[in-house]
Amino acid sequence: MPRAVLLLSGGLDSATVGAIAKADGFEVYALTVTYGQRHLAELDAARRVAASLGVADHRFVPVGLDRLGGSALTADIDVPKDRTESEMQDIPVTYVPARNTVMLAIALGYAEVTEANDIFVGVNAVDYSGYPDCRPEYIRAFEAMAGLATKAGVEGNPVRIHAPLIDLTKPEIIETGLRLNVDYSETHSCYDPDAAGRACGRCDACQIRLAAFASLGMVDPAPYVESVNRK
Amino acid sequence: MPRAVLLLSGGLDSATVGAIAKADGFEVYALTVTYGQRHLAELDAARRVAASLGVADHRFVPVGLDRLGGSALTADIDVPKDRTESEMQDIPVTYVPARNTVMLAIALGYAEVTEANDIFVGVNAVDYSGYPDCRPEYIRAFEAMAGLATKAGVEGNPVRIHAPLIDLTKPEIIETGLRLNVDYSETHSCYDPDAAGRACGRCDACQIRLAAFASLGMVDPAPYVESVNRK
């Protein structure tokens, strides 16, 4: 069975990508890159999703991107709530500098160690149209660089970067995952959960997710604080 | 004054690159990426070199590459000693997977935060001929990827990766640094220093460095354990 590294945040997208990697016949090596998160709900979700996928291994690699400053996900800045769709088009304060490049770089190291030729990542160009590192041309450029970075690549086995969600809308992602039996109650997307790990329902990530389930006529099965109307 | 990010390990190469960046007219933002080092002599050296350079800022960013396993620099494996020149051509157990890609990725994030368009890195193709990610074609591919990864890049200000040592031998690097008044007594290259931070004189990094100073008819001014013959 060929091996693949899966970048697994524990969110809806990466859980779906994990199911796709498995359906494609890969033995999955999960990698959760943590960057100064202020809460552990995401890590718990990553553990649950990895267990359900039946991964061969799961590594957590911390990286101190909080030391660079500049993001509500890593510094002491408030997560914005109740933004409108047009406000969400701006690059938000939750943006982490060079996040995808750092995560893919660490995944490349893990692929080298596990002798995997494939990396799966849940980047998506639809919901994050303002992010340069969510576009197909960026992914292809990373792949070209990675092919020159490692001994395996130079010897004719360049790593392939799979971004199977890149052109899908959020409802399409959820439909794909449901066909592959992803249990979305295990996933966590919220930027600002309460102490019990329940999603806030109001940050960008929650709003996008709630709207997607609603558009499918479904109720998001993840735990939310009680005040949230899920329909 | 234009800003540049400097990847600063505290070794001989990065100290030289810092002096070059300064001589080229940049305001220097130093970045020390730490990956599970077992000793702090390198970090002390990075602090000394940054102070001598008069950098605008100096950030330390830890990344848990030790969680991936596979290197004497991050795991509990002995650092090889007294290797011959031909033995040094093999990829050593001190190799850290995707190290340059991870360090450049974090530097890209720091460049984004500081609005720097230039990154300086001390990679070198001569002493590390077996390392794919020390070659000019790798550096150019990283630069192409980086230009697609950030908002500044997409808007016409792609980051430039400067690797001014890439084709220099170690004696040529030292001569360059001495012309720019680098104080090499402040630098640290050893993979296995003693408790006082003194270099072992026998690991690959020490041997390459000692031979380079000797070939110039000089004595390496860095602190070594007493048994080392520096000439």
The pLDDT value given to residue A71: 59
The pLDDT value given to residue B162: 98
Give the DSSP H/E element, type plus range, for residue B36: none
B213 in a domain, yes or no? no
A204 in a domain, yes or no? no
Nearest to A200 by CA among A210, A215, A190, A189: A190
The pLDDT value given to residue A128: 62
B25 in a domain, yes or no? yes
Cβ separation of A68 and B154 shorter than 8 Å? no
Q: How many CB atoms lie within 10 A of CB A78?
A: 8
Cβ–Cβ < 8 Å for A28, B31: no
Cβ separation of B133 and A148 shorter than 8 Å? yes
Residue A89 contacts B where some CB pair is shorter than 8 Å: no
Contacts B65 to A, Cβ<8 Å: 61, 106, 109
Global pTM reads 0.92
Q: Please tell me the distance from the alpha carbon of residue B133 to that of residue B143, in angstroms, as a whole number.
A: 13
Give me the sheet containing A27-34, strands edge to edge.
A57-62, A27-34, A3-7, A118-120, A160-162
CATH number of the CATH domain containing A94: 3.40.50.620
Higher pLDDT, A93 or B185: B185
**Among the partner residues A61, A68, A141, nearest to B148 by beta-carbon distance:** A141
**Among the partner residues A70, A113, A154, nearest to B70 by beta-carbon distance:** A113
The pLDDT value given to residue A41: 87
Quote ipTM for the complex: 0.90
Name the least confident of A35-49, A95-109, A118-132, B65-79: B65-79
For residues B4, B7, B9 and B15, what is the CA-based torsion angle, rounded to 10 degrees? -40
Cβ separation of B109 and A100 shorter than 8 Å? no
B214 in a domain, yes or no? no
Query: How close is the nearest chain A Cα to the Cα of B68, in Å?
Result: 6
A223 in a domain, yes or no? no
The pLDDT value given to residue A185: 96
Name the least confident of A16-20, A81-85, A111-115, A130-134: A81-85
Dihedral sign (CA A144, A98, B11, B170)? positive
Q: How is B97-112 classified by DSSP, letter by letter?
A: TTHHHHHHHHHHHHHH
Cβ–Cβ < 8 Å for B27, B2: yes
The pLDDT value given to residue B131: 82
Q: Is the pLDDT of residue B67 over 90?
A: no
Cβ–Cβ < 8 Å for A65, B61: yes
Residue B178 contacts A where some CB pair is shorter than 8 Å: no
Convert the pLDDT of each residue in A167-216 to its tens digit.
Answer: 999 999 999 999 999 999 999 999 889 989 999 999 888 999 999 999 99
Residue B96 contacts A where some CB pair is shorter than 8 Å: yes
The pLDDT value given to residue A231: 63
The pLDDT value given to residue B213: 97
Contacts B154 to A, Cβ<8 Å: 132
Nearest to B208 by CA among B128, B133, B99, B95: B128
Residue A12 contacts B where some CB pair is shorter than 8 Å: no
Contacts A145 to B, Cβ<8 Å: 101, 138, 141-142, 144-145
Residue A138 contacts B where some CB pair is shorter than 8 Å: yes
Cβ separation of A149 and B137 shorter than 8 Å? no
Query: How close is the nearest chain B Cα to the Cα of A69, in Å?
Result: 7
Cβ separation of A105 and B109 shorter than 8 Å? no
Chain A's closest residue to B138, CA to CA, is A148
Residue A219 contacts B where some CB pair is shorter than 8 Å: no
Interface test with A, best of B142, B143, B155 (most A CBs within 10 A): B142
**A57-62 and B160-162 strand pairing:** unpaired
Contacts A144 to B, Cβ<8 Å: 141, 144-145
**B160-162 and B118-120 strand pairing:** parallel
**Confidence band for A228, pLDDT divided at 50, 70 and 90:** confident
Cβ separation of A61 and B65 shorter than 8 Å? yes
Per-residue pLDDT, averaged over A3-31, amounts to 97
Cβ separation of B98 and A64 shorter than 8 Å? no
Number of domains in chain B: 1
Cβ separation of A148 and B154 shorter than 8 Å? no
Q: Please tell me the distance from the alpha carbon of residue A165 to that of residue A167, in angstroms, as a whole number.
A: 6
A176 in a domain, yes or no? no
Higher pLDDT, B137 or A92: B137
Chain B's closest residue to A31, CA to CA, is B68
Residue A154 contacts B where some CB pair is shorter than 8 Å: yes
Q: How is A137-179 classified by DSSP, letter by letter?
A: HHHHHHHHHHHHHSHHHHTT-PPEEE-TTTT--HHHHHHHHHH
The residues facing A63 across adjacent strands are: B63
Q: Please tell me the distance from the alpha carbon of residue A213 to that of residue A227, in angstroms, as a whole number.
A: 17
B209 in a domain, yes or no? no
Domain with A13, as residue range(s), is 3-170
Query: How close is the nearest chain B Cα to the Cα of A48, in Å?
Result: 20
**Angle at the Cα of B215 (from B210 to B217), degrees rounded to 5?**
95
A192 in a domain, yes or no? no
Nearest to B208 by CA among B176, B164, B169: B169
Nearest to B141 by CA among B89, B100, B173: B100
Read off φ and ψ for residue A30, nearest 5 degrees: -85, 145
